[in-house]
Every structure is written in structure tokens, then in C-alpha cells.
Amino acid sequence: MTDTTRLSFKEMCAKYDVTPRTLRYYEYIELLSPEKEGRSRFYGSKELARMTLILRGRRWGFSLEDIRQWLLIYEHQGTEAQMQAWVDMASTQLVELEDQRRNLNETIEELRNMRDQVATELG
């Protein structure tokens, strides 16, 4: 993709498989800043990169506010500060995800035991 490539609002929704409401919300909370021409919005390479990071962050369980703050670090402090913040955020999130996995494994085991117990009682 060249720097002159721009996606329309509809193309952006299709490319990232998000609803128009989601895209508008990301703009509202200042995660994205598309170029505006009249009522039309266009997304350049910077916005596409940001959208990729936003969706990746959401997949990993980060809040939109955490993602927004992380993106702001780049604008105000540069790449190195942003990467350090990323390492810190990722470390914290990994602890949270491990805790969630542990809880999920316990719940699965509990459910499996209950199912087996009831199945045994049924004969």
C-alpha cells in the first residue's frame, strides 16, 4: 500500500470486518482521525496501521482506553517510550490472561466432574 492509498468509510469497515458504529465510535474516542471531505471520511496508511493495532489490542484483552493511551505515547514521546509502555502493558495483561485461564480450567474441570457424576447416577 502506498502513502496515497486511501480507504473510504465503507471500505474500512469491510477490510477490518467492523460495523459502521464501531468505526464511528473509534473516531469519537479519538483512536482514529480520518481525513474528512465534506461528509466523507478517508483512511490513509497511518489510520490503517492504527486500526490493526487497535484490533490486535482488543483481541489480547486490552481496554480501548489502554490502547488510546498507548497510541498517544507514540505521538508525545516517540517509539522507544511506546515500546517500553507496550512491554509493561503486555506483562500486566499476561498475568491477567493466565489468571483467567486458570479460572477457566477450574470451571471446566468442575463442570466435567458434575456431568460425569450425573451420568453415572443415570446409569
Q: For 63-83, how does the pLDDT look when each residue is reduced to its tens digit (9 = 90+)?
A: 999 999 999 998 899 999 999
**pTM of the prediction?**
0.80
pLDDT at 61: 94
When pLDDT is averaged across residues 9-30 and rounded to a whole number, the result is 96
The yes-or-no verdict on residue 3 having pLDDT over 60 is no
Give the list of residues 6+ apart from residue 5 with CB closer than 8 angstroms, or none. Answer: 44, 45
The predicted pLDDT at position 75 comes to 87
CA distances from 69 to 48, 79, 81 (A): 18, 14, 12
Spell out the domains of the chain, with CATH numbers in brackets.
1-59 (1.10.1660.10), 63-123 (no CATH)
Question: Long-range contact list for 44-53, CB < 8 A, 24+ apart?
Answer: 44/3, 44/5, 44/6, 45/1, 45/2, 45/3, 45/5, 47/12, 48/1, 48/7, 48/12, 48/15, 51/12, 51/16, 51/26
Can you give the pLDDT at residue 123?
83
pLDDT digits (tens, 9 = 90+) for 80-119: 999 999 999 999 999 999 999 999 999 999 999 999 999 9
Task: State mean pLDDT over 34-54.
Answer: 95
- Average pLDDT value over all residues in the chain: 94
